Chain A
Amino acid sequence: METRAPNAPSLSLKGVSRSFGKTVALRDVSLEIAQGERAALVGPNGAGKSTLLKIICGALRPDSGQIALQGLSPARARTQAGFLGWLPERAPLNADLTVAEHLRLSASFRGLKGQGAAAEIERVAAALGLQNKLARLAGRLSLGTRRLAALALAFLGSPRFLVLDEPTSGLDPDGARLFQKLVASLPASSTLLISSHVLPELFNLTAKINFLKNGSLVYSGTYEEIDRAFPPRAGEEGLQDAGPGAAACAQIYFRVLYGS
Chain B
Amino acid sequence: MPIARHALALARAEFKAFWSSANGGLALAVFLILGGLWFYNSVVSYSFANLEALARGRVLDANLALFSASLSRLGLIVMLVTPLSTMRAFASFERGGHLDLLLAWPLTRAEIVLGHFGASLGSLALLLLLSALPFALALAMGVGTLKLLAVAFLGLILLGSAFTAVGLAVASRTRAPFAAALATLGILSVLWGAGWAAPYLADLAAALVQGLSFGPRVERFSLGLINFNDVFYFLCLTAMGLGLAQPFEE
Given A61-B249, A93-B98, A96-B17, A81-B106 contact (CB < 8 Å): yes
Residues on B with beta carbons closer than 8 Å to the beta carbon of A101 = 13, 16
Given A60-B249, A90-B93, A84-B13 contact (CB < 8 Å): no
Is residue A215 within 8 Å, beta carbon to beta carbon, of the partner chain?
no
Contact of A93 among B6, B16, B21, B101 (CB under 8 A): B101
Least Cβ–Cβ distance between B105 and chain A, in angstroms: 5
Task: Give 1 or 0 for each of A76-107: 1 = CB within 8 Å of chain B CB.
Answer: 00111111101110101111110001000110
Residues on A with beta carbons closer than 8 Å to the beta carbon of B92 = 92
Q: A94, B248: Cβ atoms under 8 Å?
A: no
Total contacting residues, chain A, CB less than 8 A: 33
Q: A106, B20: Cβ atoms under 8 Å?
A: no
Is residue B183 within 8 Å, beta carbon to beta carbon, of the partner chain?
no
Is residue A254 within 8 Å, beta carbon to beta carbon, of the partner chain?
no
Least Cβ–Cβ distance between B106 and chain A, in angstroms: 5
Is residue B129 within 8 Å, beta carbon to beta carbon, of the partner chain?
no
A168 to B211, CA, bound (A): 57
Residues on B with beta carbons closer than 8 Å to the beta carbon of A60 = 248-249
Residues on A with beta carbons closer than 8 Å to the beta carbon of B248 = 59-60
Q: B104, A153: Cβ atoms under 8 Å?
A: yes
A240 to B105, CA, bound (A): 40
Residues on A with beta carbons closer than 8 Å to the beta carbon of B98 = 92-94
Which of A79, A110, A150 has the most chain B CB atoms inside 10 A of its CB?
Answer: A79
Least Cβ–Cβ distance between A122 and chain B, in angstroms: 20
Question: Which residues of B (7-56) have their CB < 8 Å from a CB of A?
Answer: 9-10, 13, 16-18, 20-21
A110 to B105, CA, bound (A): 8
Contact of A109 among B93, B94, B107 (CB under 8 A): B107
Residues on A with beta carbons closer than 8 Å to the beta carbon of B16 = 96-97, 101
A-B residue pairs in contact (CB < 8 Å), sample of 16: A59-B100, A59-B249, A61-B249, A79-B106, A83-B106, A86-B103, A92-B92, A92-B100, A94-B101, A97-B13, A101-B16, A105-B105, A106-B105, A150-B104, A153-B101, A153-B104
B residues engaging A (CB < 8 A)?
5-6, 9-10, 13, 16-18, 20-21, 92-94, 98, 100-101, 103-108, 248-250
Q: Other than the known A58-B103, A153-B104, what 7 A-B pairs have Cβ atoms closer than 8 Å? A: A61-B249, A82-B106, A90-B100, A92-B98, A97-B17, A105-B13, A150-B104
A residues engaging B (CB < 8 A)?
57-61, 75, 78-84, 86-88, 90, 92-97, 101, 105-106, 108-110, 137, 150, 153-154
